[in-house]
Every structure is written in structure tokens, then in C-alpha cells.
Structure 1
Amino acid sequence: MKNLILLGLTVILFTACNQEVRYTQQSPEIDTYKKAMDDYKNMNWESMPKHYADTAKIASNVIEEKALTVSQAIEKYKQDAAGFDWVVEKEEYEMVVTDKGETWVNFWGIWKGTMKSNNKVYVIPFHNTARFIDGKIVEEYGYWDNSEIVLDIQKIEAAENSVLSEENSIDN
């Protein structure tokens, strides 16, 4: 009887230890995503692609059909970075395995940037989620509200166009 109880406890312990992890805050995929985010934050554009599969698609504030390749996304990041001095703060990561067996790493952070053209500071919470296959990012989605920046850029462009129109009318 004693052996039967020990056998039962051993089976329970073994079963409990071998349960699949479906949620965690520590994994190789999270470590990879942290490195990809570090490359973004440090504007290390040459190193960034190594974390992504060759066929990866990045959809930042767009639907999947408008997703960019990694090289296209990096070119956009370079253009965006040229207009700001910025940092990313309050980073949080988690990994989940879906019911379909897909591995996703979720990221939350605060993007804080000063626009060079107007010296205004913007503080924007954002969320990224990236699906991994064989240790590489195969798709990534990013979500944030940049409407305040867009409106301010439109104001700056309108003011510049107004000045150009005045200069042209004076010259004629």
C-alpha cells in the first residue's frame, strides 16, 4: 500500500512538472525581442534584421495587408527617428502560447520623444506583439496613437507653406 501511494505521488509530481508553459515573462523569445527592441532604441539598424525571418512582415498601425518588410520598416524607422530625440521607458514583456500553438511575445512601453522642429515633448504608450517561429520573428504588429504628432506636423507644414506663398507673392 505504501508503494502504491508513493507511486501515485510520483505520477502526480511528474505530471505537474511536465505541464506546457502557456504564459511566461522569461523565455528565449522574450530575450530575442528585447534585443530587437534594443536595436530599435539604439538605432542599430544594421543589427535589427537578424532577429527577423527573411519573410517577416511588420504592421505598425496598419492592417496586415499593408504590412512592410523588415527593410521597409527600418527605412521608415530611420525617417521617423530623424525628426525626434526619443527614448523608450517602462518596458514590459510577456510570452504566450495560443490554443493553436503559436508563440507570441507582447511588449508594452512608453515612447517619449521631443520633436526637433517644434521642441514639443510627446509621451505615447504603445504595444507591440510579435509571433515567433524557430526563434525568429515572423510577424509583428504595433499599436499606438500618434494623432497629436500628425496634427502638429500638419500645422508646421501649413505654416511653412503659408510663408512660402507669401515669399512667392512678394517675388512676383
Structure 2
Amino acid sequence: MKKTHLSLILMVGLAACQAPVRYTQQSPEIETVKAIFDDFLAKNWEGLRSHYAEDAQIFWNRLESNPQTLEELITEAQNEMDMFSAMSQDHLAFEMVTDDEGEVWVNYWGTWRCTLSANGESFEIPMHETFQFVDGKVVKDHGYWDNSPIASSIMKWEAAQAAAADTVSMD
């Protein structure tokens, strides 16, 4: 009987000592990040807003000292997304990590595909984004990718348009 009680106490003690899961590839937060990408590509701005805390800070190719608000991001996206005739995203990997301070982060690696409406040029842009969650909402969103191929293509197209306009006005 004593052995049974001792074994039971030992099992309960061991179960209580198990550390919380610090890494996973399946979580409600990961599903939220997938929904964020779906809402962004669909230009569903209200849906996008629903995933972020009111005071969320956005750092898309920005330093910590220069955050963007969600409203600023949405305004910028609304202005820029019309440049593209097609957009999609391939999700390569998601992971959720609880760091040593107890902060919950979802990391994402993927490829953004887009086609410029002006010249039909297509791009595949590798990207990484990491989201900090508090109470089920994104409070920080850090995104990193190289926009320079798109910017270069736009500048070439604009230069060609300006050259064509100069040629027409000289005639």
C-alpha cells in the first residue's frame, strides 16, 4: 500500500514538473498568422485588423526605432497593391516559440509571388516574418524581404515611359 501511494505521489510529482511546450509547429497562433496572410492577399482589411492588438507595432523592413501602426500599413498596402496583377504566397515553414522571457513568437518563412501590372514582370521574393502574440493578438510584426528587384523594375518602366513621352513631345 505504501509503495502504491509512493508511486502515485512520484507520478503526480513528475507530471507537475514537466516544462511547458516551448516549440511547436501547430498552434492557434500559427493559424492566426495563416489567416493574416489570407486576409492581406484578399485585401480584407477588417479581417486583417481583427488579428492585431490596437497598439500593435509593425516593422516591415524597419528598425525597432521606427515602427509603423497597423493603420499606416493598411494605407500603404492599399496604395501599393494595385500595382500588381497577381499575388500569391507559398508557405514554407511556420513555428511557434516561447522564449526565455515567456514571450510567444510565431516565425514564418515563405515566398511571395507577384506580377507587376505595368510591365507583366513576375517576381519571387523570399521572406521571413515573425509575430509576437499577447492574449491571442499580434502586438509586434517584424517582416524582412528584399524589395529591390521590384523597385528596379518599376524605375526601368518609369524611365522607359518618360523616354517615350519625350520622344512623342519632340515630334
TM over 0.5: yes
Instruction: Tell me which residue corresponds to 2:10.
Output: 8
TM-score using structure 2 length: 0.88
| Structure 2 CA distance for aligned equivalents of residues 167 and 67 of structure 1 | 44
Instruction: Tell me which residue corresponds to 2:116.
Output: 115
Superposed, which structure 2 residues align to 1:35-74 within 5 Å?
A: 35-74=35-74
- 1:8 partner amino acid: L
**Which SS does the other structure have where 1:96 is aligned?**
strand
| Structure 2 CA distance for aligned equivalents of residues 34 and 133 of structure 1 | 17
Instruction: Tell me which residue corresponds to 1:34.
Output: 34
Tell me if 1:136 matches 2:161.
Answer: no
- For 1:54-76, what per-residue CA distance to the aligned partner results, in whole angstroms no more than 9, with x for missing partners? 11111111212332111110122
Show structure 1 runs of 4+ deviating over 4 A.
Answer: none
- 1:72 partner amino acid: E
Q: Decide which moves more: 28-37 or 105-114.
A: 28-37
Q: What is the count of residue pairs matched by the alignment?
A: 168
TM-score using structure 1 length: 0.88
Instruction: Tell me which residue corresponds to 1:152.
Output: 153
- For 1:76-117, what per-residue CA distance to the aligned partner results, in whole angstroms no more than 9, with x for missing partners? 222222111111113422111111111111111111111111
- For 1:117-159, what per-residue CA distance to the aligned partner results, in whole angstroms no more than 9, with x for missing partners? 1111111111111111111111111001121111111111111
Q: Decide which moves more: 156-165 or 135-144.
A: 156-165
**Which SS does the other structure have where 1:33 is aligned?**
helix
- 2:57 partner amino acid: K
Instruction: Tell me which residue corresponds to 2:77.
Output: 77
Against the structure 1 CA distance between its residues 102 and 14, is the aligned structure 2 distance closer, same or farther, given a 3 Å change threshold? closer
| Structure 1 CA distance for aligned equivalents of residues 61 and 33 of structure 2 | 19
**Which SS does the other structure have where 2:62 is aligned?**
coil
